[in-house]
Amino acid sequence: LWLAPGPCTSWAVEVEALYRTLYLEQLVSFVSFPTVSSIAFSAFECEHFDGGLSLLKADYHIQCHSARWAGTAALAVGAILLHVFLIPLCFLALLVHAQRGSSDASRLHQAMGFLHAPYQRHSSAWEFVEMAKKLLLVGFARVLFEAGSISRLLIASIIALCSLTFLTLRRPYLTIQNNYLNVALNFALACILLLCVGFKMGELSDDGALSSEYRHEFGLSSILMSGVFGAFVVSGALLFLVFLVLEVREEHRRASLLSQSDLGRLQQVCSDVGPLLQSGDIIDQLTDFFAGNKHTADLAELEFGQPEGAARDIYHHMRVCDPLADGGKERIIAEVEA
């Protein structure tokens, strides 16, 4: 209400003020999510000492499972339920509601732009996938596994590799640069975690915890391992830059191919399609068109290098919006021009 233009004398003004504050609420939640999650879950991370003594790692003045610790744990549970689960779920519900096309969907969709604006339409909820990854890395991994254990590092490495795989396959961001940048960051995170696993195994041989036989078999040279991983990260970064430059150049080349002559060819293809033709024939003709026009990758809902899939997507999208017998050819042309 404080952000509303003038005194709030009507319901419409109050609703507009709520829409304006949504952006600020999303920003605060996004920035504070990792910190709040880390602090809240640290209330359950205890360190065990000799004699059965267990102290809270974040504050050695608090003994775990004591009355004082119980109050701290209750506050942590409240913070986890409210800030880690309830608020993101409310934002997700608002985003789903905005995409369903209700009367206030366009205004709500605009107000929720902080969460979905950087992503493609098929991945508008990707920010919540990123939140889940942060929650697993800074939250549950700290509670379920001991600090400094190799199990925690292995689980974190698996989470980072799974995130890298999903990101590579999904390509959720609108721009190629953002997709490549996030792939590179996730790749670097996975390399760092695997390097920590190697250092942890090297500690076992350095501390004399292994016999001479196992030390020879499982011992790792920290210097050699650091050099190998460093070279791997540097080479990966260089490859990332090379592929990014090539992809950007290809994107500009595809954009330049979208000309009036191409649209004229598409109109010719669609003009040969009768309203009573079978869908397979229409898809075949559109497939032939897209196979010869590589600029189709610039269209919002089409996949790279798959002309048949592109033709099917456009055909089925047009069938949902309007039957082919009712001006379907014109709808196909309008969709491609858009």
**pLDDT (tens digit per residue) in 254-309:** 555 544 445 555 555 555 444 434 444 555 555 555 555 434 434 444 443 444 45
For 65, the 3-state DSSP assignment is coil
More confident residue, 48 or 129: 129
Predicted structure pTM score: 0.61
pLDDT above 60 (res 8)? no
For 283, the 3-state DSSP assignment is helix
For 61, the 3-state DSSP assignment is strand
Task: Report the percent of the chain where pLDDT is more than 90.
Answer: 0
For 212, the 3-state DSSP assignment is helix
pLDDT at 243: 73
pLDDT above 50 (res 92)? yes
Neighbours of 290 (CB within 10 A): 24
Q: How far apart are CA 203 and CA 197, in angstroms?
A: 10
pLDDT above 80 (res 245)? no
pLDDT at 205: 62
* DSSP sequence for 93-121: HHHHHHHTT-TTHHHHHHHTHHHHTTB-G
Helix (H) or strand (E) holding 239: helix 222-257
Measuring CA to CA, which residue among 39, 40, 2 is closest to residue 24? Answer: 2
